[in-house]
Each structure stands twice: as C-alpha cells, then as structure tokens.
Chain A
Amino acid sequence: MSHFSPTAAVSYFFNYFLMKGVLVTIGLTVAAVVGGLILGMGVALLRMSSNPALAGAARFYIWFFRGTPLLIQLVVIYSGLPQLGIKFSVITCALVGLILNEAAYLAEIVRSGFMAVSAGQREAAWALSLSPWVTFRRVTLPQAFRLMIPPLGNSINSLLKATSLASVISVEELMRRSDMLMQEHFQILEVYAAATAYYLILTSVWDAIQRRLEKHFGRSSAAKSRRLDARGPVVQASVEARA
C-alpha cells in the first residue's frame, strides 16, 4: 500500500467505532470544562483571599499543576496512585487528571477577570449595602465573565485537544480508537486524516460557540443602541458623542 486512499479516509470518517470515540472526546471535554470551572472558581476565590494560608495553598496548586505536564499527571493518577492503594476506573482517572489540570489554568483566567472589574464597582455595591452574594452574582461576576470569555475560549480549545493524552492511559476516545483502527488496518494516513478532520470540526464548532457567547455578553451596549435608532436623531447623536 504505497499511496493515500481518499475513499478509505472517508470510510474511516464514517466508521461507527471511531464516531463513538468522538463522543467520548466530547464528553471528556465537557465534563472537564464544567468540573474545571467549578474547581477553578474555588481556587481563584482562595487565591484572592486575604488569608495568606488560603492564598498560598491556591498559589501552590496553580504552580504545581501548571508546572507539570498533563501526561505525567495522568500517568501518575492511573499507574502511580494504585501503588498507594488509591484506584479509580480509567475514565475517572482521565477526568480527575483533566479537571485538576484545567482548574489551574481556569483559576488564573477567573482571577484576572475579577481583577479587571474596577474597585469602584465594589465600592458602589458596598455603598448601596448590597450583600456580598448579590454583589458577586449581580455586579462583579457578569462583568468579570465578559472579560473571561476570550481566554476561556482559548483554554477550552487546548483542553479539547489535550483529551487525546488520555489515550495513553487507555481511555477509548478519538485518538485511542484511531490508534486501534490503525493497528488493525495499517492505513496510517487515512485513519489519522479522519481523526484530524474530527478535531478540526470540534474546534471549529467551539469557535462558533465562543463567538456567540462574546456577542451575547457584549450586548449591553450594542443591542440597545440599535433599539435607540428608532427614537430619533437627538438620542442617536448623544450615543455617538459617547462612542
């Protein structure tokens, strides 16, 4: 077999076995994003805490998980921890590793988002005697989230591709199943072409979702100024004067 067969590549693309791997990749990504966001939000809050012990612990966590390869983290959780009597299923190992790793990155993104909200916003909330929860939920979080979307999008894009590392600990996601097909049929280029196409589709879909999110959360100025057009030229002029 000394040439590339497009028909074989297409047939791998529609291979049911490979498609199931795609679903596992999507599942791993979604679960790691949700888990990573929750944990990362917690780590970010600790990191911003005025308590030096809590802030220090969060700083150590971020330093450790951002400073070591995800591959080592996965292998240690999968093969290393059983040595200490801690044993998880394969899929749990992958999720724990991905979430712990992703949380470290997301924590820094969450923190930078909150730090970019001006101190005056918090002061105004205090002056109005808003509770800490209302201040967080209604004042700082919406503003921080808007600033977090672009770096968040980047990080999720990386995560989607990083799930392929879970193949090393035998999680049957897209990469692992591509390997398995390849070893069975030896059509290396054809199998990986199909896998590459899937990764490109997934990252492109995510790009589109991210663009919509940015548009949605940036709507406060854009959407309403469109509505104002109908109200006449005076209003419009004052909008432009501010812009």
Chain B
Amino acid sequence: MSETSMNTAMGSGVEGATAQPQLREVPAVRMEAVYKHYGDFTALNEVDLKVAKGEKIVICGPSGSGKSTLIRCINHIEKHDEGLIYVNGVELDRQRKNIDVVRRDTGMVFQSFNLFPHMTVLENCILAPMTVNGMSEAEAKNLAMHFLTKVRIPDQAEKFPGQLSGGQQQRVAIARALCMRPKIMLFDEPTSALDPEMVKEVLETMKKLAEEGMTMLCVTHEMGFAREVADRIVFMNEGKVVEQAAPVDFFNHPKSERAKTFLDQIIH
C-alpha cells in the first residue's frame, strides 16, 4: 500500500471535526511484516496493516486466508512469529505487561460466543470489571446493566447463556466486552454461527457501536454490513493482504483477480 492511500484511509476514519488527518496520531493498530506459521502452513505472510483510531475495518476473504489469525494476533490470543504489532502505540513484544495493556484496550467477540456457561449473563459481564479493574460489585452491576440495556437485553441478566438464543448470546458477548471499556473492538465472524433470523439483531448492535465512533476490526462475510459500515475493506488471500479499498471501490471495481472471483462467489 502506498503512503498516499494509507493517509486517505486513515483520514477517512477520523471523526468530522478533525477533517485534516493528523499524520502523527498514533494508529490504533499497526502491523509491520507480520508472519504466523502453523507447522508448514503460513497463516500470515508479511502482513502490513494500519488502522486509524475510530476507523471501521472489515476483513474478508476465502476461508483459510488468515483473516481470523490476523485479528487474533492483535490481542495476542495467537502469537505472531515475526514482525511488529503495535496497538495504540504499545508493542506486542511478549512482555506480559504489554500484553495486558493491549488486552485491556481491546475487546473481542468470537464466532462461538464463548460466554461462561456456568455463570449468569450478569455474572459474565461483571467478572472482568471486578477482578481486573477492582470495581465494587454494585458499580460493576450498574455498568453491566448499562451495556446490557444498550444491546437491548437487560431483562435476560439473571439467565444462563444456555437459555438464550444465539443472537441474544452474541449480544451478551458484545456487552461483556464493552464492560471493560475497550478502545478497539475485534469481531471474529460474529454472525457465522447464528441462525439467519438472528444475524440482523447482532449486526444492528454492531452498527450502533460503529456510529458511536468505536474503532472496529471485523472479520465477516456479511457484505451488506461491510458496504454500509466499513471505512475500508481488507481483502486477504493465502495469508496476504491482497487488496484494501473503500467499500464502494472494492465492490464495484475489485483490482485483483482473486477478489473478483471471491465476490462473484459470495454475491448472488
């Protein structure tokens, strides 16, 4: 990616008031020549990526292209083998302290929700604020109810995850992540495990979050969502970032052959 296109991409993410992109602003995420191998398989192959604060990125590409690996490296759930990753200026260099800072700055939503099944919705939401941030139970419950209301399920607070629908569980997972007040939200195929009729409620929740200016990186096959919400589409193939562009450009004029075939296959 050229310097100019990078600046435009960054500029588009900065909110209205600062029309002039601040070139020196610390990016939310910066990846430089990142590699990740699983045995002989190269999951990430020299990935460079810069995400500005407030920017919404949708990462797409065929399965096995390294999309999930990429966002899982950002909060060090997956350890990259080579290259540099900075999150809000903090380098993920395997120091425990830095990993903790980065994980506190990022919230993650998983394909399979990963709610704690033996805890109620409310207990799921207050565990981290209480044990990590040292909040009192009352404070944490207030905070949790605030975010549960935001994802429109405050009435489910006393239930266990297994008693909720998939869409409700995923919204709880979003609320649980928000309770740590992250600066960046990572979504790893958040709607892929949902029944079709549940997809919309989760996407609506994510849109609301995007409108509030949250920095978001989202791996998804929901191209409607990408078109509407993303500032930039990152297209990956075989561990490489093949193409990145604004949604209009990406969907109407994909540059690479691989992206063209991919779009032909998923847009019916």
> Across the interface, do A121 and B131 meet the contact criterion of CB distance under 8 Å?
no
Number of A-B contacts (CB under 8 A): 83
The answer to whether the Cβ of B104 comes within 8 Å of any Cβ in the partner chain is yes
Smallest Cβ-Cβ distance to B130: which chain A residue = A134
Give every chain B residue within 8 A of A123 (Cβ-Cβ). Answer: 77, 108, 110, 114
Q: Looking at the complex, which one of A120, A224, A225, A239 makes contact with B114 (CB distance below 8 Å)? A: A120
Chain B interfacial positions (CB closer than 8 Å to A):
75-77, 100, 103-104, 106-108, 110, 112, 114-120, 127-128, 131-132, 158-160, 162-165, 176-177, 180
Consensus secondary structure, chain B interface = loop
Smallest Cβ-Cβ distance to B169: which chain A residue = A242
How far apart are the CA atoms of A142 and B100 in the complex, in Å?
Answer: 24
> Across the interface, do B132 and A131 meet the contact criterion of CB distance under 8 Å?
yes
Show 16 residue pairs from A and B whose CB-CB distance is below 8 angstroms, ordered by the A residue: A120-B114, A121-B114, A124-B115, A124-B116, A127-B108, A128-B180, A134-B127, A142-B118, A220-B117, A221-B162, A221-B163, A224-B159, A225-B163, A228-B159, A239-B163, A242-B163
Give every chain A residue within 8 A of B103 (Cβ-Cβ). Answer: 126-129
> Across the interface, do B176 and A128 meet the contact criterion of CB distance under 8 Å?
yes
With an 8 Å Cβ cutoff, the count of chain A residues facing the other chain is 26
Chain A interfacial positions (CB closer than 8 Å to B):
118, 120-121, 123-124, 126-131, 134, 138-139, 142-143, 146, 220-221, 224-225, 228, 238-239, 241-242
Smallest Cβ-Cβ distance to B166: which chain A residue = A242
How far apart are the CA atoms of A224 and B107 in the complex, in Å?
Answer: 29
A68 CB, min distance to chain B CBs, angstroms: 38
A120-B114, A123-B114, A142-B118 are known contacts. Are A130 and B128 too (CB-CB below 8 A)?
A: yes
A50 CB, min distance to chain B CBs, angstroms: 12
